[in-house]
Structure 1
Amino acid sequence: MKRLWIIMLFGVVAMGSVAQNRSYLSLKNLLADDGDTLGSLRIEKRAKNQLMMTAGGDYKIVSSNESLNKRIKSRYYAMKCDGKLFINCRKIRFKHFRFGTCYAGAMWVGTKIYFCAVPVGPAAVSITSSKNNMGDIGQAIASSSLVSERVFYEIDSTTGKIDFVGKDKMCLLLKEYPDLLNAYLSEKSEDAEVTGKYLQMLQQK
């Protein structure tokens, strides 16, 4: 009987650790895992019409506590919810271009963070050019077709600098893995679906 209770106790602890939600005020805090533990949160996937009305990340993180909601929206740099990492789009820039509001899904690969977001600035130009839809940067960002497009960006854990994970960056990341590199080059795409697949493979190395 005692053995059964011990097993049940460890099961509860394990469930609690998986479901734990934490907030981080800065990249430095995130790297050090120096964050505050939060209560129950709800992750909402934003619909296409919401993204068209208010540019930003794919996810809205919501608490039943209104004062906490205000901090989630504008104060926190990142959050871990149910074991998943999210970066606050309000807190990041890519070559002076803003990502908008809400949160973008992210992952760790080695010592760097990669997050998935809408193409902005040079990333928008790159992806529209690859789809034979040339235009200036303003047109690329405003294009309704880009609301559904996603690419990956890299956050350097040393400098905090954000870079677009396009073909050149991905080739550098895969250079030590010729088979993966050749497979990636055959895909001929900078979309998040393709890039994310190879980032996940690198994550497992």
Structure 2
Amino acid sequence: AERGLRRAVDALDLRAKVASVVACMGFDWAAESLPAPERATLLMCKHYSSFRAGESWMQVRRELRNEGVKPIAADSHLLETKLEEVFNTARQVKCEQMELSEESKVEASEKEKAFFDTILQQRDQEIKQLLIKRSVMGPRATSQLRRTPGQQKTATADRAKTGIESEESSLTSSVAPLGNATQTQGATNLSLKLNLSSATASSS
């Protein structure tokens, strides 16, 4: 249904009706709060009747030339005057549209600048939040955050190695007293055997 409506609208020339409606509304009122490209289009709508009249005068001159008819001086002067008025209007509209085009470029540049300013502001806020977070966590946490993933893995491996070495040293220190106790017990048994042997020899 929408496509059919679009085809029907495209088949009709509604420019005259649109120009009449906008003229009744007022061109100044219709141009309020409109962007530059739409105001440029509205200029064509505003002078649509003049352009249509100029097109009609050009068609009259073309037909007279094709038929070889030379108008009288008064008619020729009137024809050229009307065409000159239309050409002047067209030049004026073109100049105004060029000004609106420059205004449109300025608006686009301002929008682009505002967009980049928003991105920079967001980046600055993220940096400030990161600095606050680092100051709260302390210098040690800050140094850990500054480490690269490879450095963090190396530090973890070093801590694990240090833990294993400390466990081995504690295990060695616990085994050493047991060895000393065994040696002491062996020496005591040997001294007892020697004493018993000497006592037996004396009794005999």
Structure 1 or 2: larger strand share?
1
TM-score by length of 1: 0.20
TM-score by length of 2: 0.20
